A and B are shown apart, each in its own frame.
Chain A
Amino acid sequence: MILNKRIIRELKENWVRYGALVFLIIFSLGLVVSMAGSTDVVNYTIDTNNEKNQLEDGEFSVYVPLTENQKLELEKMGAKTEESFYMDLMGAEKSILRIFENRKNINTIELEEGRLADQMGEIVLEKHYAENYGIRVGQSMIVNQKNYLVTGIGTVPDYSNVVQNVSDVLADLKQFSIGFVSEAEFKQLLAEDINVEYNYSYKLDGNLTASELKEKLVDLDFDKTKVANKYMQEIINTIEKGKNDLSGGVNDLADGTQILANGTSSLKQGTNELADGAGSLANGTDQLSAGLEELTSSNITLNKAADDVFQGMIAQVNSEFEKMGMTVTITGDNYSAVIDGLIKAIGGSDANAVIVLNTMKAQLDSYKKFKDGLSAYTNGVESAYSGSAELSVGAADLYQGSVAVASGVSTLSNGSSELNSGMGEFKNQVTSFIDENMDYQYVNLIAFLEADDNQRITSCKSDAAINKNSALIAGVIIITLIAYMISVFVIHTIDKESAVIGALYSMGYVKKELLRHFMILPMLIVTASAMLGTGLGFLLIGENIKENVAYYSYPGYSMVFPPYLLIYGVLLPVLIALLVNYMVINSKLSMAPLKLLRREKKQHKLANIDLKEMGFINRYRIRQLLREIRGNLTMFWGLFIAILLMVFGFSIYGSVSAYVNNVASDVEYNYLYFLKYPMENAPNDVTKAYTESLTAELYLTGGEMDVTVQGIDDENPYFDFPLDGEKNDVIISDSVANKFGYKVGDEITLSDNLEDRNYNFRVKEVVSFASGLYIFMDIKDMRELFGQEDDYYNTLMSDHELDIEAGRIATVITVDKMVAAARQMFTMMYGLVITILGASVMLFAIVMYLLVKMMIDKSTFSISLIKVFGYNEREIKKLYLGTTFYTVALSTLIAIPVSKMIINKIYPYMVSNVSAGMNATMSPQSYLIMVAIILSAYAIVNFMIGRHLKKISLVEILKERE
């Protein structure tokens, strides 16, 4: 169609406009496609690598290594395990190098260079570590004061995010990494080192679920005497001693009763033969006294042990409840009422449960009776003993009251022989109770972690996924905006050529032909630039992926070009443009030919509102604004999106810098030691605390995340909030509050996944504490809740470095290092922030320039006319650019708060996998900078348009008619 010849000319005449649009499309699609594409490349690389190198399904660690039989048993059930024992040793520049032995079947090493370590004294290093310290294959390095030859450099699939602890916020690739040595070398290290982590990786064959495996591991028997770790051995000894004390006490008790029986029967004889003389009485009382002394000496142990057993039973019952899915917790005082309540609540609906509950209650009742009886008895023994002492001292007095005594003694004698006969039975019962019930305290399993919950494995992919999703969404929004802008330009053209179109209609052109014609240009532009943009995006993948490659540890990537990205990058924009332009142009071309010929425009109703009251300039401006309502609305949306991007950029910046600052200011101790094996006597200048790690549900993603529950006391110098209140009151950090959406007054449930137990807390207060995810409570309540001794602790806080045996320490947190890591995150984010801000400013300026210019073009005739009337440039600028100012000001005023609200809602999703609570915050300065950016973009565009206005000549009026 010959008409199409004008397309090229239209393009040439308005090259700035179309060029800017093409640039916008290419730029935004390039950005989006490269972001999404690099995610796909990362995912593909990681997936292929995971498959190739047999990524684990999960891992667990134990106190005592599994026996060969146990491993076979697990394998038969459907879980192949492989030892992945490790120890953290000191590498280059005080860094920590976690040493494993070579892997065989699970999480195998992907070498990038060199070969595996197969001799003594050889090591393979993780690639970033090698790079950071400039170590190459063939060089040697010192680990733990020993020289190693580096034979290879590579990665493993279970440490793609090389963090020391699974809950670490960031990897510090200089401070911590991993290395692999030969089997023989590892054996030798095992012989030397005290603190080895008995970690196992497993792969399930489909017949076994992870939770079944975990259950099995919890139940697995193990030989306590084989616990190699001396600190663990200490703990076991203490527990065992308690048990031995109890059974020893019962034995003593039995012995004592025997002696007592003997003593009392002698006493009886003695009293009967009172007249026979004081000599045999003295013997009797001495024997009695000895027997009673024997008894009292074990009273304390006995009562304590009996109480331990009782508490053990209570804990047992609580965990039964847990298994039965009940969320109640009983104590020694309330069990009877609680269980009765439960029975009542269940009623007839579950006969089995009622039976079980009754049994539980009966068991507890009988034991409580025994315990109470025991303490009554020991009390009795004690007073009997003091009585007997008096007895032998006052032997002379006794003589006088001998008759009265005789009857009393007779009763005692009967009682004690009864006691003695029942004692054997009782002793058996206690012993079997100990054997049956006191074993549950020893579970070999320390930690159990499925691959899906292991951020060392997942975080790279989930990180990338979030970027990709947000990029794809942003892409669609921007393309829609651009498509709409293009259609606005096309409408502008149609309006300008309305009479021509009317003429063509008059000659017999049909709408279809003109529609097709007017669609060609926008489609051409969108198609061409979408193809270019997508192409550019693919080219930029390498650039985009750099940061990811530098941070995460995976093998060199190979490019993939996923077909969906072609669809997204080319087809989707084309479809959007087709749809938007079809709708808009079609409606324009549907006007009657006569109306087109007469240049009648569909005037917006708003354009006719009464403005009599206003001054001329304002009236003119508002009329202009209303006349160009479509252009102004488009500009509003364009500016809105640009501002949204800007707010997003500033929010990332604000969030990360607030995190860095708060970490530095909130944490007042300098060193935090988590002890795996607390020592009996802590150094005296430290603050003790008690820490447990529980998991909480992430309402955002439905996943879970670890939180740290920390018990502290009122004297703790590093925290200044009061700890009073109910037993289950906790104080949560603001990080926790915003990560999990908790508020003051909320009842929250945290779970111990290892023990399958839930704990309920009530949020009493939210305090500012940026580092990690902490929940604080009174250490006394916490010990009670977790069933620990009154003086238990496992955490030390200090303002200086402590001299603690390395083997006792689970983790040390050094605040300086933490702050440094946070700073590193800041630098990592910097590039992203700059890109986003740059893109937003560009979008802002281009959208504004194009639309303002278009509106001016539309008004060329009137501008030329008022120039003829004698208006000067300043006045004309006022009339025509003033409206733009209204739109820009209004867009800014609306868009900033609304964008902030939107970003506030979206941001938590974007950081959902970061184990720290981060808010989308913007400092007042950021707002000021933003407004400054907007104003300067406006000023620049204004200047450019002003120059354009100057060029509008007076003869314009002669060329055209309106």
Chain B
Amino acid sequence: MFIEVNDIKKSYGEGGSYVQVLKGISTGIEKGQICAILGPSGSGKSTLLNTIGGLDTIDSGSIKISNIEITKLNPKELSLYRRNLLGFIFQFYNLVPNLTVKENIQVCEYLTKTPLDINELLEVLGLTEHQKKFPSQLSGGQQQRCAIARALIKNPELLLCDEPTGALDYQASREILMLIEKINKKYGTTMLIVTHNTAIKEMVHRVIKIKDGQISEDYANKVLKPASQLEW
């Protein structure tokens, strides 16, 4: 198992404002798989993703990524873990405003000794003609593609996406999903995608549904539908 999550619990606040967000989640994901995490708003999807990404701590349980117990890492080791293994894609793209597309990607190229070929990546993501533009000169979809390129340039083993299509329209969303599919095939990247878009569940290897801090459904798709054929 590439990702092993074992009975993790997480709560926020104390006293009156105490909320248990994750109430014992256990699951495992194989290397190279795409996994969609679905669930109603406030159910704890982002929290789960963040704890796996080492951005948030948990109260109890264990998270093993590539056999590393990340709950035991100190902040320095955590950032090393993120640096070596992870890529992040956010709903709001969080690009550096005064760097060009290419430069934004280079910011993360810097983090690894074995980056992907940047021009090839630009080509794959259809950003070659936009590479000299600043984020403010791009459409939302283009910005998200840039953010994806930034996350992919260091060829991460695990890509964490929190609602990557949340701010995009139908067409742009579909393009992003097609890209994700393509990258997974091309580079064998393991992917966790938190999303509200239920159509996505047809194109991924695994679907985990969370409700009220617990896994309500967890299954694998036998047949995957290509992203280009998704309808919603």
How far, in whole Å, are A594 and B76 apart by their CA atoms in the complex?
Answer: 15
Instruction: Choose one: B76, B96, B111; the contact of A497 (CB below 8 Å).
Output: B96
**A589 to nearest B CB, angstroms?**
12
* Chain A min CB distance to B159 (Å): 11
**Known A-B contacts A2-B99, A13-B98, A500-B95; A506 and B82 likewise in contact (beta carbons under 8 Å):** yes
- Contact in complex: B83, A961 (CB < 8 Å): no
- Known contacts A510-B76, A597-B90; is-contact A504 B98 (Cβ 8 Å): no
Q: Which of B56, B94, B154 contacts A594 (CB 8 A)?
A: B56
13 contacts between A and B (CB under 8 A): A2-B99, A5-B99, A503-B94, A504-B107, A506-B53, A506-B88, A508-B83, A508-B86, A508-B154, A510-B83, A593-B55, A594-B50, A597-B94
Given contacts A503-B88, A508-B80, A508-B82, contact A2 B110 (CB under 8 A): yes
From residue B139, how far is it (CB to closest CB) to chain A in Å? 13
Interface membership of A370, Cβ < 8 A: no
Q: Is B79's CB within 8 Å of the partner chain A? A: yes
Chain A residues 485 to 529 lying within 8 A of chain B, measured CB to CB, are: 497, 499-500, 502-510
User: A2 to nearest B CB, angstroms?
Assistant: 4
Write out the residue numbers on chain B whose beta carbons fall within 8 Å of the beta carbon of A324.
none
B84 sits at the interface (CB 8 A): yes
Q: Are B95 and A507 in contact (CB under 8 A)?
A: no
Given A2-B109, A500-B95, A506-B82, are A959 and B56 neighbors across the interface (CB < 8 Å)?
no
Whether the pair B92, A961 counts as a contact (CB closer than 8 A) is yes
Known: A10-B98, A497-B96, A594-B56. A507 touches B80 (CB 8 A): no
B99-A506 in contact (CB<8A): no
* A508-B79, A597-B90 known; A2-B50 Cβ under 8 A: no
Cβ-closest chain B residue relative to A504: B107
* Residues of chain A at the chain B interface (Cβ within 8 Å): 1-3, 5-6, 9-10, 13, 497, 499-500, 502-510, 592-594, 597, 959, 961
Q: Indicate if B97 sits at the interface (CB-CB under 8 A).
A: yes
Complex: A238 Cα to B122 Cα, angstroms? 114
* Residues of A with C-beta under 8 A to B98: 6, 9-10, 13
Over the window 104-117 of chain B, the binary record of Cβ atoms lying under 8 Å from chain A Cβ atoms (1 yes, 0 no) is: 00111111000000
Residue of A nearest to B55 (CB): A594
Residues of chain B at interface, number, CB under 8 A: 33
Residues on B with beta carbons closer than 8 Å to the beta carbon of A507: 82-83, 86-88, 108, 111, 150-151, 154
Known A597-B94, A961-B92: A508·B55 in contact at CB below 8 Å: no
Give the residues in chain B near A3, CB-CB below 8 Å. Answer: 96, 99, 107, 110
Which residues B30-48 have CB closer than 8 A to chain A?
none
Contacts of A594 in B (CB 8 A): 50, 55-56
* Chain B residue at minimal CB-CB distance from A590: B75
Other than A505-B79, A507-B111, give 13 A-B pairs with Cβ distance below 8 A. A2-B109, A3-B99, A5-B99, A9-B98, A499-B92, A500-B94, A500-B96, A503-B90, A506-B88, A507-B83, A507-B87, A508-B80, A508-B111
Question: Which residues of chain A are within 8 angstroms of B151 by Cβ–Cβ distance?
Answer: 507
Residue of A nearest to B46 (CB): A594
Is B216 an interface residue when CB atoms closer than 8 A count as contact? no
How far apart sit A959 and B76, CA to CA, in the bound complex (Å)? 34
Residues in B whose Cβ lies below 8 Å from that of A510? 76, 79-80, 83
Q: How far is the CA of A592 from the CA of B80 in the complex (A)?
A: 15
Q: How far is the CA of A503 from the CA of B94 in the complex (A)?
A: 6
In the complex, which of the residues A9, A503, A509, A592 contacts B111, with contact meaning CB atoms closer than 8 Å? Answer: A509
State A961–B93 Cα separation when bound (angstroms).
12
**Bound-complex Cα distance A502 to B53 (A):** 13
Nearest B residue to A594 via CB reads B55
B110: which A residues are within 8 A, CB to CB? Answer: 1-3
Shortest distance between the CB of B96 and any CB in chain A (Å): 5
Determine how close the nearest CB of chain A comes to the CB of B55; give it in whole angstroms: 5
Is B103 close to A, CB under 8 A?
yes
Task: Tell me which of A2, A3, A5, A959 has the highest count of chain B C-beta atoms within 10 A of its own C-beta.
Answer: A2
CA distance A506 to B84 in the complex (A): 11
Asked if B228 lies at the interface with its beta carbon under 8 angstroms from chain A, I say no
Q: Does B27 contact A (CB under 8 A)?
A: no
What's the Cα separation between A597 and B76 when bound, in Å?
Answer: 18
Chain A residues closer than 8 Å to B60, beta-carbon distance: none
Whole-angstrom distance between the Cβ of A516 and the nearest chain B Cβ: 12
B82 partner residues in chain A, CB cutoff 8 A? 505-508
Closest residue of chain B to A508 (Cβ to Cβ) is: B83
Q: Are B103 and A2 in contact (CB under 8 A)?
A: yes
Contacts of A10 in B (CB 8 A): 98
**Chain B 125-166 against A: per-residue CB contact (8 Å), 1 yes, 0 no?**
000000000001000000000000011001000000000000
- Which residues of chain A are near B79, meaning CB under 8 Å? 505, 508-510
List residues of chain A with CB within 8 A of the CB of B87: 507
The smallest C-beta distance from B12 to any residue of chain A, in angstroms, reads 12
Kindly list chain A residues whose C-beta atoms are within 8 Å of the C-beta of B106. Answer: 2
The 8 A-B pairs with the shortest beta carbon distances in the complex, nearest first, are A508-B83, A503-B94, A508-B82, A2-B106, A9-B98, A506-B88, A6-B98, A594-B55
State in angstroms the CA–CA spacing of A778 and B11 once bound together. 91
List B2-16 residues whose CB lies under 8 Å from chain A: none
Distance in Å from the Cβ of B93 to the closest Cβ of chain A? 8
Compute how far the CA of A9 lies from the CA of B100 in the bound complex, rounded to whole angstroms: 11
For B136, list chain A residues within 8 Å (CB).
959
Give the contacting residue for B96; candidates A6, A505, A593, A961; CB below 8 A: A6
Q: How far is the CB of A332 from chain B (nearest CB, A)?
A: 92
- B residues within 8 A CB of A504? 96, 107
Contact with A along B53-85 (1 / 0, CB 8 A): 101100000000000000000001001111110
> Which of chain B's residues have a CB closer than 8 A to the CB of A500?
94-97
B contact residues around A506 at 8 Å (CB): 53, 55, 82, 86, 88
CA distance in complex: A500, B86 (Å): 16
Cα–Cα, bound, A497→B96 (Å): 8
Q: How far is the CB of A63 from chain B (nearest CB, A)?
A: 85
Complex CA–CA separation, A959 to B139 (angstroms): 11
Q: Which B-chain residue is minimally distant from A505 (CB atoms)?
A: B79
Chain A residue at smallest Cβ distance from B53? A506
Smallest Cβ-Cβ distance to B111: which chain A residue: A508
Q: Are the CB atoms of A499 and B94 closer together than 8 Å?
A: yes
Q: How far is the CB of A958 from chain B (nearest CB, A)?
A: 11
A715 to B: closest C-beta gap in Å: 86
Cβ-closest chain A residue relative to B109: A2
A961 to B92, CA, bound (A): 9
B88 smallest CB distance to A (angstroms): 4
Task: Give A112 to B136 CA distance when docked, in angstroms.
Answer: 69
Bound-complex Cα distance A637 to B55 (A): 38
A6 to B56, CA, bound (A): 29
| Chain B residue with the shortest CB-CB distance to A496 | B97
Nearest CB in chain A to that of B104: its residue: A2
A67→B229 CA distance, assembly (Å): 124
Query: Nearest chain A CB to B131's CB is how many angstroms away?
Result: 13
Task: A9 to B97: give the CA distance in the assembly, Å.
Answer: 10
Which A residues lie within 8 Å of B97 (CB)? 497, 500
CA distance in complex: A746, B97 (Å): 71
Residues of B within 8 A of A508 (CB): 79-84, 86, 111, 154
User: Which residues of chain B from 141 to 193 have a CB within 8 Å of any chain A CB?
Assistant: 150-151, 154
Known A-B contacts A13-B98, A506-B55; A5 and B103 likewise in contact (beta carbons under 8 Å): yes
